[in-house]
Each structure stands twice: as C-alpha cells, then as structure tokens.
Amino acid sequence: MANLPVTLAEIEQAARRIKGRVLETPFVLSAALTERCGVPVGLKLEHHQTTGSFKLRGATNAVLSLSPEARARGVVAASTGNHGRALAHAAKAEGAIATICMSRLVPENKVSEIRRLGANVRIIGKSQDEAQVEVDRLVAEDGLVMVPPFDHPAVVAGQGTLGLEIVAAMPDVATVLVPLSGGGLAAGVAAAVKGRSPRTRVIGLTMERGAAMKASLDAGHPVEVEEVESLADSLGGGIGLANEVTFQMCRALLDDVILLSEAEIAAGMRHAYREEREVVEGAGAVGIAALLSGRLGRLDGPVAVILSGRNVDMGQHLRVANGGDAA
C-alpha cells in the first residue's frame, strides 16, 4: 500500500480537514439482513450525508486542499449528479463558484438540485466522457480548476474517511461491500479499511450494463464502455483512459467485483425501503442487492454495507418500491 497514490496517512489527514464540514453518518445493525445472512450485517447510512451521498467527503477535501487563489478562479467537474451536487455545496461553503458539466442521461432531479445550490450547469452530450470534453475546454480557456469526480488523490482521500468510520464502528468487520463506478469511493474505502484491518475483504459492486471499472480491470488497463441507462445511474460513466489513481488502487486493493442485474438492484431498493425504512437510489442499494442475490457465497464474519446515496427520482422510487418492472 505504501506505493499507491493515496495512503492511510493522507486519508487520516483528510478526516481531520473535513471534520465539522461533513456528517459522521450512522452505522446501524440490520436485523433483517443479519437473520438472512447468518452473520452481523451493518449498514453505513451514508445516504444521510448533507447532500444525500458520500461525494461530499471527497469534494470538500479537494476544495479545502486548494489555495485561496485557485478557489477564486472557480472549480469545474463532470458528474453523473452526486459529485456535482457535492462540489456545488463545498464550493459555495468556501465562497467559490462551481461549474458542473453533465450528460443528458443525468436525471432531472439531480440537475435541478445542483442549480439550486448556485452552480453553473452545462448539459453536454450523451455520456460523462462527452461532458468531460467541455470540462477540459473550460480549464484550458477560462482557467477554471478541475475537481474530478473520482480520479484525484484529494477526492479519493476524502471518500476514504468513510472507511475509517466503518472500522471504528465494526472493528471485527470481515467484508465491506462498496458501490463501484469510477473507483473513488472503492479505492478510498479499501485503502482505509485495509490500512486499519488488513484481513478485511473489500468487494466492489456495480451494474451489469456499462460497468467501466470492471471492464478495465478485466482488460488490464482503462477501457471505454458504452454508457446506458440503469437504475444505478450514479455508477455510470467511464474511468478515463488516462486514469492515474483509481484504476491502480482498485486493481491492487479490491478482492472481487460483482455485477448485478437491474432486477437485483430493484430488489435491493425495495428491501431498503420495506425492511430498513430507508430511501436509497439504485447505486446506493447494490450492497443489499448483492446480499439478497446470494452472489457473495458463504460469509465468514460481520459485513458492512455502504448505502451510498439517496438522490433518486421519487417517481422512479415509488414504481420500484411497489414492485414495478426494473426497466
């Protein structure tokens, strides 16, 4: 781990930097999942975070790491929604202006919330990669400072603070289930968890359709995938062909990656609502979905599940909660 782009010491420093600016979210035991799985199952309720997802940790750490001069130029990022919301909030708290570039696949509820926080919004193309082209232009031509949604050491370190809280709440945790997209959360959590508890397994979870990190890990290098609609829309987007941080860390630290169908993700959302009384978006439900599906096989100790976000279109959530078709 000493040779990886983000260290345990940097994650611990991030925890001190963002303290008081983000919530230390609850960690609760799920009676229903514990009974079903035969081992203690704890839920890290990160969807209770101020902006509705874990992304506030990384965005806040990244903004606070900038010089006052850099913050004054304004920050910019491509986002599938939750990072944009977090960066808009973190920038506003420090008196900076955020510009968020998103594709047309980002749900309107996420776009409108980013606008409400005072950020400039640009809708570009049909993928996060196309939105990133606009980000690069704004950096080159207007001098804005890019704060990427995942492939940035300060962002990864900020997300890793969540892993520190998990180990503190469940010191004997055997398995941590973490949503996997561009790898910022998975890389940071894995570095923190394995830094504190080396024997703990960390498993990345994502959707079957358009899983860029899984395809890249299988190929041995970053690759592009087609971005398609999914209940787990926050897990969409590529990892960047020039990825410098998260691909290396996920390859080194993740013990496994599991793909989930749309029906399985929908089942996770329904369980979260009906049994745990929690509203989570598809990306936030993948840990529960993996447990319900039985894809993890035999569990040999306590499990921690990250419920990463709640920023779901409520019409979609109502349809899924009532047993509607996952599509």
Catalytic positions: 55, 308
Question: What DSSP assignment string belongs to 61-128?
Answer: HHHHHS-HHHHHH-EEEE-SSHHHHHHHHHHHHTT--EEEEE-TTS-HHHHHHHHHTT-EEEE-SSSH
HEC profile for 237-296? Answer: CCCCCCCCCHHHHHHHHCCEEEEECHHHHHHHHHHHHHCCCCCCCHHHHHHHHHHHHCCC
Q: Which residue has the tokens 């399985």?
A: 264
Answer whether 92's CB lies under 8 Å from 122's CB: no
CA separation for the pair 36, 180 (Å, rounded): 24
Q: Which residue has the tokens 């609850």?
A: 26
Answer whether 287's CB lies under 8 Å from 303's CB: no
Q: Pick from 74, 24, 69: which is nearest to 50 by CA?
A: 24
